[in-house]
Amino acid sequence: MAIAPHTGHPNDLEAPSTNEHGAPRKMFRNREFEDDVGDSQRRKRQTRSRLSACILGVVTLAAVAFAAYYFLIKDGIDLQKGNYQHKNFQGSVAMSAIEMHATTGDCWLAIHSNVYDMTDYAPLHPGPDSLITDHCGTDATAAYTSMHSQALLPTVSEYLLGALQGADDGSATPPNSSNESPSSGGSTAEGSQIALATMQMHGTAGDCWLAYYGIVYDMTQYAPNHPASSSLITNHCGTDATNAYASAHSRSLLTTVARYRLGALEGTDTSAFPPATNNPPSDSSED
């Protein structure tokens, strides 16, 4: 009697447990399929790891940026202009007010007609802090000038509170102020006066003096570092470049070149100065 052929799937047939020699038959596994599954799982794990690393990196950068922003704001930095302004800046301070802050823990003093809160700076002073704290609550100009150049004062501009009331030098302008006063470019170094004829003798790119708003600057070293073009400075060496400067820059930027200040231009008529531009300086220039 003939046996009907099996019509189902080949896998439905039960494989014999022994081979033709009677030995146990080995069950072969589909290694190619298992390798594909393993590769797929590894790729998924790698993708998840990379995604986690990217997320962690973004979170870390955001945390660092926030921390930097917080501490800059806490220290009173104007992020738009990159300058400091004391949180208690008052514009004008009476001598009687200075005398009320005469201790090491609350130290105000006046230097060259400007008033500073030196409480936080005194411990950071390169020399003994007593050079500052011994003069808390007083006008320390004489003590300061006996040891330092006035050109160093911009290094403590963040502690400026304002001008000393009744002083001859006029009102102080804070680093971030848009108020334009004759002292916006910094006060005269040690009160020196420079004749126009003297300034005109320094009229080359290698020896470049010029005047802005009645103050003479030696711009020889700064000109090559000008953000836009050194010619914007060197074209005016030996001259009063106030008009050229005012046409392109805010007068308040002169605080950034205060260290190059030499003195006042002799016989300057400050009433003849052009008005300061209200336009922001182009290319962050600061000549």
In tens, the pLDDT along 157-184 reads 888 888 888 765 444 444 443 333 333 3
Q: Which residue has the higher pLDDT, 5 or 77?
A: 5
Task: Give CA separation, 168 vs 17, 51, 111, 159, in Å.
Answer: 114, 66, 13, 21
Q: What is the mean pLDDT of the chain?
A: 74
Average pLDDT, integer, range 262-270: 78
- Does pTM surpass 0.75? no
Res 148 pLDDT > 70: yes
Q: What is the pLDDT of residue 101?
A: 93
Amino acid at 25: R
Q: What is the pLDDT of residue 73?
A: 52
Q: What is the pLDDT of residue 48?
A: 86
Residue range 42-67, pLDDT digits in tens: 888 888 888 888 899 899 988 888 77
Residue range 76-93, pLDDT digits in tens: 444 444 445 667 776 788
Q: What is the pLDDT of residue 69?
A: 67
Q: What is the pLDDT of residue 272?
A: 55
Residue range 208-257, pLDDT digits in tens: 999 998 888 999 888 888 877 888 899 999 999 999 888 888 887 788 78
Q: Which residue has the higher pLDDT, 287 or 58?
A: 58
Reported confidence tier of residue 39, pLDDT bands at 50, 70, 90: confident
Q: Which residue has the higher pLDDT, 111 or 5?
A: 111
Q: What is the pLDDT of residue 176?
A: 40
CA distance 102 to 50: 60
Residue percentage of the chain with pLDDT more than 90:
18
CA distance 213 to 81: 21
Q: What is the pLDDT of residue 137?
A: 94
Q: Which residue has the higher pLDDT, 139 or 284?
A: 139
Q: Count other C-beta atoms under 10 Å from residue 280's C-beta.
A: 11
Q: Which residue has the higher pLDDT, 110 or 272?
A: 110
Average pLDDT, integer, range 270-281: 48
